[in-house]
């Protein structure tokens, strides 16, 4: 049993709940996330397939793809300590997946990817750039001249920009920035402090800290995450070694200049009730962007792809299709 199967055994009812929300047929006999998503893929062209990805330091990354690789490719990158499983509402929605090639991966140190316990595998920002480059290369293997669209959730945008710093933007045709603080002052200091403090805590206290972070994903004044949903986010992070946290946080980088150098279209998505990233961050990002557009999700916090899934899928799909014309 791999880690992702363990997480979804804890959350066996999740996809049935989601399927009702999106008017899909309910999943029966769900035994793992892989089987669950595969059952939903009977309408897809290519089905669910694993991508073989090896990055620098010979790190094996766990990646999956949905759909036909000749269609526009979208690569989803998750928040700090979060796994590919957080994109479940996109994975199982016909609305979003009719004619796109979707790629999801666990970063080094996360869930089903390799999780070395040595901080030196995480304290070089070049490594996360190498990881994304390896995923892009694998995803476009059949079409080496193909460009991809990135959807980066919060820290996922840091990874995207670090990739651009090292490899340039020639393989990208657009970026969707989700609840991202380009300016560090626009990210919650309390949350950053909690993340930093979790390195030296006992296992029980570490779980409590990560649970606190996840509870802050929902918007201020909005209903809290349902238990099954919260466990998906929590389960995806509990396998993360402390070396990942201390190594990643010790890495210093300046990416504002890289962001301002982007000439490709940027869709900036902001949650109006986000308590992790100040909503004003979207305006700062728009000011710095050469080719940016902002869409505010009025009833969302830090996870609009869960809180306002239908709208999120619609605007992202439209953006992806436009940049691939």
Domain-by-domain residue ranges, the chain?
49-323
Q: Could you report the average pLDDT of every consecutive run of 10 residues in the chain (325 residues)? A: 54 42 33 41 58 96 93 96 91 80 96 94 93 98 96 96 96 98 84 71 75 88 86 84 85 86 97 93 95 97 94 96 95
At residue 93, the pLDDT reads: 78
DSSP string, 165-233: HHH-STTEEEEEEES--SSGGGB-HHHHHHHHHGGGS-HHHHHHHHHHHHHTTSPTTSPPPPHHHHHHH
Report the run of H or E that residue 52 belongs to, with start and end. strand 48-54
- Confidence (pTM): 0.87
Name the 3-class secondary structure at 152. Answer: strand
At residue 1, the pLDDT reads: 56
At residue 28, the pLDDT reads: 29
pLDDT tens for each residue of 247-283: 887 777 788 999 999 999 999 999 999 999 998 999 9
CA dihedral 205, 206, 208, 211 (to 10 degrees): 180
Contacts of 85 (CB under 8 A, 6+ apart): 4, 7, 8, 33, 111, 232, 235, 236
The percent helix, strand, coil of the chain (3-state, each to 5) is 45, 15, 40
Superfamily of domain 49-323: Alpha/Beta hydrolase fold, catalytic domain (3.40.50.1820)
pLDDT tens for each residue of 138-172: 999 999 999 999 999 999 999 999 999 999 999 99
């Amino acid at each position: 049993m791999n880690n992702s199967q363990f997480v979804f055994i804890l959350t066996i009812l999740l996809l049935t709940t989601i399927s009702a929300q999106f008017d899909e047929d309910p999943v029966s006999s769900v035994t793992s996330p892989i089987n669950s998503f595969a059952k939903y893929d009977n309408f897809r062209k290519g089905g669910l397939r694993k991508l073989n990805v090896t990055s620098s330091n010979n790190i094996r990354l766990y990646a999956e793809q949905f759909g036909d690789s000749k269609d526009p490719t979208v690569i989803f990158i998750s928040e700090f300590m979060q796994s590919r499983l957080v994109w479940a509402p996109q994975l199982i929605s016909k609305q979003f997946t009719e004619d796109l090639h979707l790629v999801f991966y666990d970063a080094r140190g996360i869930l089903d990817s390799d999780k070395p316990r040595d901080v030196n595998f995480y304290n070089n920002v070049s490594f996360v750039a190498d990881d994304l480059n390896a995923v892009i290369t694998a995803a476009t293997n059949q079409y080496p001249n193909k460009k991809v669209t990135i959807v980066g959730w919060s820290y996922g945008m840091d990874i995207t920009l670090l990739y651009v710093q090292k490899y340039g933007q020639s393989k990208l045709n657009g970026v969707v920035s989700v609840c991202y603080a380009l300016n560090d002052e626009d990210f919650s200091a309390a949350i950053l402090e909690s993340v930093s403090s979790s390195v030296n805590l006992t296992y029980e206290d570490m779980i409590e800290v990560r649970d606190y972070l996840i509870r802050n994903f929902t918007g201020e004044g909005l209903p809290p995450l349902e238990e099954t949903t919260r466990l998906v986010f929590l389960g995806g992070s509990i396998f993360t070694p402390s070396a990942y946290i201390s190594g990643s946080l010790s890495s210093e980088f300046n990416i504002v200049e890289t962001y301002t150098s982007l000439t490709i279209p940027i869709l900036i998505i902001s949650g109006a009730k986000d308590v992790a990233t100040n909503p004003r961050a979207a305006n700062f990002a728009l000011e710095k962007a050469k080719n940016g557009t902002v869409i505010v999700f009025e009833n969302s916090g830090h996870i609009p792809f869960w809180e306002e899934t239908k709208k999120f899928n619609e605007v992202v799909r439209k953006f992806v299709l436009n940049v691939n014309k």
